């Protein structure tokens, strides 16, 4: 005779296995979420720059360019840059990444810099790399300091021509506005509205702006601290500091749509 209880007893191991798998899946999902949330809040990381040799920069250069990249793009994006626009101004261009590469160190003659930042696109890792780029600007003290991503093509002669007619002693910040409306935040109980130059399109800072940013770091105000306090991304944090915030006095002559001039 058919016995329902006996049939159910045969199914118990399979049911228990399914419950166990579901339980483990929930545990793994929770741990992944907890790790990402913790990592996203860990914006106190300091972006130390490493190189085979100490970073030595000539002061009072007209232009310095940093390119933010990652080890996953060494044989693709970075390779294409080295074969194209890097050749237009190799002495002015530095690459900031997240993992060492002995061949790049040799080929780029000390212009390849890696950091202890992470390699993902999480906010904390990107802010960390931007801070490393700013460290290069602080040391170089060039007339103009420009950031680009590793998927940009830069017409360096056009960029130099464009900047040559501008005064680096003025607080100037050139970039491309990527949002239709200003960003609005509350900082120290004060509502603030500002624009920013998207990092994906590249931006340039005058010597005056870089010097003031450097002075702010002595007060523990930087893209790292602003990103942590306000939850902003790297380029937005920089735009907040430079733009309409009360941090720089007076605010810079903000954001001109100059993308076509040097990309």
Catalytic residues: 235
The total of other beta-carbon atoms located within 10 Å of residue 178's CB is 15
Rounded Cα distance, 60 and 73, in Å: 31
Residue owning tokens 């080929």: 107
Report yes or no: 109 and 52 within 8 Å, Cβ to Cβ: no
Say if residues 140 and 211 touch (Cβ distance below 8 Å): no
205 by DSSP, 3-state: which? strand
CB 101 within 8 Å of CB 74:
yes
How many Å apart are CA 126 and CA 200, to the nearest integer? Answer: 12
Q: Which two tokens stand for residue 130?
A: 């931007």
Q: Which residues contact 142 (CB under 8 A, 6 or more apart)?
A: 60, 61, 62, 63, 64, 207, 210
Q: Quote the CA–CA distance of 37 and 1 in Å, as a whole number.
A: 57
Cα–Cα distance for residue pair 245/239, rounded to 1 Å = 9
Name the E strands within the chain: 49-50, 63-68, 93-97, 112-115, 144-149, 172-175, 183-187, 190-194, 203-206, 253-257
Query: Where do we find the tokens 């960003």?
Result: 183
């Amino acid at each position: 005779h058919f016995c329902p209880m006996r049939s159910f007893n045969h199914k118990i191991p399979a049911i228990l296995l399914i419950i166990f798998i579901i339980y483990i899946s929930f545990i793994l999902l929770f741990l992944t979420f907890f790790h990402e949330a913790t990592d996203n809040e860990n914006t106190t990381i300091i972006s130390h720059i490493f190189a085979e040799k100490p970073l030595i920069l000539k002061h009072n250069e007209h232009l310095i360019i940093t390119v933010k990249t990652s080890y996953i793009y060494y044989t693709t994006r970075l390779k294409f840059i080295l074969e194209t626009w890097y050749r237009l101004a190799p002495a002015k261009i530095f690459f900031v990444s997240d993992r060492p590469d002995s061949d790049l160190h040799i080929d780029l003659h000390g212009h390849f810099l890696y950091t202890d930042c992470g390699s993902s696109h999480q906010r904390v890792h990107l802010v960390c790399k931007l801070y490393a780029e700013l460290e290069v600007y602080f040391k170089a003290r060039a007339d103009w300091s420009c950031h680009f991503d590793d998927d940009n093509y830069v017409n360096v002669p056009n960029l130099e021509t464009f900047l040559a007619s501008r005064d680096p002693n003025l607080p100037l910040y050139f970039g491309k506005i990527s949002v239709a409306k200003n960003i609005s935040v509350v900082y120290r109980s004060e509502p603030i509205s500002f624009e920013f130059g998207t990092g994906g399109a590249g931006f340039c800072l005058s010597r005056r702006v870089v010097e003031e940013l450097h002075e702010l770091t002595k007060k523990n105000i930087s893209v790292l601290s602003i990103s942590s306090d306000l939850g902003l991304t790297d380029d937005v944090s920089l735009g907040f500091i430079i733009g309409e915030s009360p941090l720089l006095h007076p605010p810079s002559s903000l954001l001109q749509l100059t993308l076509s001039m040097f990309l």
